[in-house]
């Protein structure tokens, strides 16, 4: 037997589906009988029958001053869905225009704490071109989010096929960690000694991810084509004056 959930999938509310199914099983009936069959209060059934009649699913006729309701062909549900599809398609271009306008606006997401910082790192691995550019502070990253997380992040990056061009501050280095490596798709350069980075920045796609030190303890994602492009230009300028590792 057909379930209420099936009709709800096609746009009917639960009580509307109950009334329509009851009427289909009865063939025709008075509101009182339909209410009893569907186990719904009669005043509510009257309202539902009117809505179903508007949808073309229910018809009615009077006999001896008593109104009887009949269930119309379920094919009407299909026709209703087709009509709604045509209506939606007619307004879709305007909806997409509004959506594209929204997409052109910059979005800024702010995340607090270690978990928020990890969220920013995870987001970098969603870049469609799988190319990352980073300005990193190794010493600060090993404090927050920590060495274990960062080692795991590198493995995930490599496994997903992401390449990384990275600029780091020599005074902020931790031994010989993460050198230039073809296997790990990493190309490393060191910034001029006068430039000591505390915050970490990733540039990827149309986004820029910012990771703070443990002192300020936050992460931020700025989604903006113009800002990302500007940061990309600045990265390339810094890359040119940085020393290959």
The model carries a pTM of 0.59
Contact between residue 133 and residue 100 where contact means Cβ atoms under 8 Å apart: no
- Which residue has better confidence, 7 or 45? 45
Confidence of residue 131 (pLDDT cuts 50, 70, 90): very high
Q: Which residue has the higher pLDDT, 121 or 62?
A: 121
In the sheet that holds 200-204, the strands lie side by side as 107-112, 218-223, 207-211, 200-204, 131-136, 163-168, 186-190, 243-244
Virtual torsion, Cα 142, 143, 145, 146, nearest 10 deg: 50
**With pLDDT > 70 as the criterion, what percentage of the chain qualifies?**
93
Per residue in 24-81, pLDDT (tens digit) is 888 888 999 999 998 999 899 999 999 888 888 888 888 888 899 998 887 877 787 7
Strand partners, 61: 68
Domains recognised in the chain with CATH numbers: 4-75 (1.10.10.10), 107-244 (3.30.870.10)
Above 50 in pLDDT, residue 134? yes
Residue 92 has a CB neighbour count (10 Å cut-off) of 10
Average model confidence (pLDDT) across the chain: 88
What is the model's pLDDT at position 113? Answer: 92
Angle, helices 31-38 vs 14-26, to 10°: value is 110
The pLDDT tens digits for 148-178 are: 999 999 999 999 999 999 999 988 888 767 8
């Amino acid at each position: 037997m057909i379930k209420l959930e099936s009709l709800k999938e096609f746009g009917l509310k639960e009580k509307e589906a109950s009334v329509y199914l009851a009427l289909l099983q009865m063939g025709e009936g008075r509101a009182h009988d339909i209410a009893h069959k569907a186990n719904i209060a009669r005043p509510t059934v009257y309202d539902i029958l009117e809505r179903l009649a508007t949808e073309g699913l229910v018809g009615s006729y009077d006999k001896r001053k008593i109104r009887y309701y009949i269930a119309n062909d379920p094919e009407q549900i299909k026709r209703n869905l087709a009509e709604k599809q045509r209506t939606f398609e007619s307004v879709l271009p305007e909806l997409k225009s509004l959506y594209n306008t929204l997409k052109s606006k910059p979005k800024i997401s702010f995340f607090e704490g270690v978990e928020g910082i990890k969220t920013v790192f995870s987001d970098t691995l969603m870049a469609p071109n799988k190319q990352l550019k980073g300005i990193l502070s190794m010493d600060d990253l090993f404090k927050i989010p920590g060495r274990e997380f960062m080692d795991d992040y590198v493995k995930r990056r490599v496994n997903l096929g992401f390449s990384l061009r990275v600029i780091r501050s020599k005074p902020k280095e931790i031994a010989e960690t993460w050198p230039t490596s073809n296997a790990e798709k990493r190309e490393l350069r060191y910034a001029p000694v006068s430039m000591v980075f505390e915050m970490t920045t990733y540039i990827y796609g149309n986004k820029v991810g910012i990771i703070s030190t443990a002192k300020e303890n936050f992460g931020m994602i700025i989604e903006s084509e113009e800002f990302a492009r500007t940061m990309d230009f600045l990265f390339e300028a810094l890359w040119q004056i940085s020393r290959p590792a």
